[in-house]
């Protein structure tokens, strides 16, 4: 197998057989098994004959050299699997081939269930599935959409880190049994007033320094979150779809932007159940002997979208009477957790309808309409 890599880069040699290259004048199908430092590419022709199998560094110049060597881009069709950080390789290859597909990893069962799994076999399998037009494609959003998602997920990471730090600071306060009545009555222990109290506490041993360091980190993260919030709000103001989604009960401006970009294009979902399935909010189903069993939700899909609508569901049942009654009805029979998931699924159905129709949510008209869904 040939290797294309920059000077100084040394990749372990793969024991893959190399057949002589054939001169062909039809389409070339390229299956790419991607890794962090390299990818293995298998090229076959329309008849399934092997043209080449090579290991290529994932640096930009070797990628460019490799695809230049393959010839006319109009004769090249490639497929990569939607593995970790697939976006970089996708962006590097997209303009070098006629068509680039992204294979859904869970649906590419030929590779996922293989007993013998090597880079060579994975690349060969992808190439032959592509040639037979049997690739189960995953949606590949553009770079701009992925960039928006990165900002929103970065904010979520900051909020999660801040919550962790607050919990640790609470642990320090608890083990020192703070008796200050004014501090105890505060709802937000880490707000402006709470921070003033904390800065004045004299605790035992090293706990004073530890607590102050936690507060320093929390305040620093608060500053970062404010900067990110400003950027997200700018996206909200110029996007009409975000404003439509924000009209749904329980969904604020930031959640609206997250939901909008996690869905990206509503037209890729033919029905409301398809969108719910994408979020992993549909029950798992098992059928045997003429009986159908439904279990917990699949949780296979976009976990960020599922998290966003589940968060919104908690407020939606308070702010909208119809959704509140819907929640209570299910909670009595199935419990509060399943009722919250049901409301989250209902919110996604509402979002689907208002996005498709281009009109905001109206409590009376939408609620009446949903009773027939």
Residue by residue, pLDDT tens for the chain (373 residues) are 555 544 344 334 443 444 444 444 589 999 999 999 999 999 999 999 999 999 999 999 999 999 999 989 999 999 998 887 899 999 999 999 999 999 987 777 655 566 667 888 889 989 999 999 988 888 899 999 999 999 999 999 999 999 999 999 999 999 999 989 999 999 999 999 999 999 999 999 999 999 999 999 999 999 999 999 999 999 999 999 999 999 999 999 999 999 999 999 999 999 999 999 999 887 766 555 556 555 566 667 789 999 999 999 999 999 999 999 999 999 999 899 999 999 999 999 999 999 999 999 976 444 444 433 3
How crowded is the C-beta side of 190, counted as CA atoms within 13 Å? 22
- Residue 273, C-beta contacts closer than 8 angstroms, at least 6 positions apart: 282
Q: What is the pLDDT of residue 64?
A: 95
Q: What is the pLDDT of residue 198?
A: 93
Q: Are strands 283-288 and 50-57 parallel, antiparallel or unpaired?
A: unpaired
- Backbone dihedral angles phi then psi of residue 41, each to the nearest 5 degrees: -115, 125
Q: What is the pLDDT of residue 372?
A: 34
Q: What is the pLDDT of residue 197?
A: 92
Angle of helix 143-175 versus helix 253-263 axis, rounded to 10: 140
Q: What is the pLDDT of residue 366?
A: 43
């Amino acid at each position: 197998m040939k290797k294309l890599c920059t000077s100084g880069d040394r990749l372990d040699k793969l024991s893959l057989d190399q057949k002589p290259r054939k001169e062909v004048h039809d389409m070339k199908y390229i299956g790419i098994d991607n890794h962090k430092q390299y990818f293995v590419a298998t090229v076959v022709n329309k008849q399934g004959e092997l043209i080449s199998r090579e290991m290529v560094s994932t640096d930009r110049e070797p990628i460019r050299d490799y695809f230049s060597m393959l010839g006319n881009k109009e004769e090249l069709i490639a497929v990569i699997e939607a593995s970790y950080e697939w976006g970089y390789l996708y962006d590097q290859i997209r303009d070098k081939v006629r068509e680039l597909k992204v294979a859904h990893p869970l649906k590419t069962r030929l590779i996922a269930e293989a007993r013998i799994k090597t880079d060579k076999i994975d690349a060969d399998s992808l190439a032959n599935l592509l040639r037979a037009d049997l690739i189960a494609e995953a949606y590949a959003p553009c770079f701009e959409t992925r960039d928006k998602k990165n900002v929103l997920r970065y904010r979520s990471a900051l909020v999660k880190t801040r919550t962790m730090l607050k919990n640790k600071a609470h642990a320090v306060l608890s083990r020192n049994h703070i008796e200050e009545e004014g501090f105890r009555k505060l709802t937000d222990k880490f707000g402006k007033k709470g921070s003033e109290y904390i800065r004045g506490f004299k605790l035992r041993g090293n706990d004073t320094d530890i607590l102050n360091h936690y507060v320093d980190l929390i305040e620093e993260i608060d500053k970062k979150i404010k900067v990110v919030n400003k950027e997200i709000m700018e996206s909200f103001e110029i996007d009409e779809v975000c404003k439509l989604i924000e009209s749904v009960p329980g969904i604020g401006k930031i959640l609206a932007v997250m939901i909008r970009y996690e869905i990206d294009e509503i037209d890729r979902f033919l029905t409301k159940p398809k969108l719910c399935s994408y979020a992993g909010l549909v029950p798992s189903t098992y059928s045997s002997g003429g009986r159908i069993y439904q279990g917990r939700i699949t949780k296979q899909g976009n976990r960020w979208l599922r998290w966003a609508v589940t968060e919104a569901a908690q407020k939606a049942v308070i702010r909208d009477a119809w959704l509140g009654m819907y929640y209570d009805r299910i909670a009595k029979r199935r419990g509060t957790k399943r009722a919250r998931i049901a409301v989250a699924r209902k919110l996604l159905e509402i979002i689907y309808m208002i996005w498709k129709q281009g009109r905001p949510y109206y409590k009376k008209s939408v609620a009446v309409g949903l009773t027939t869904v």
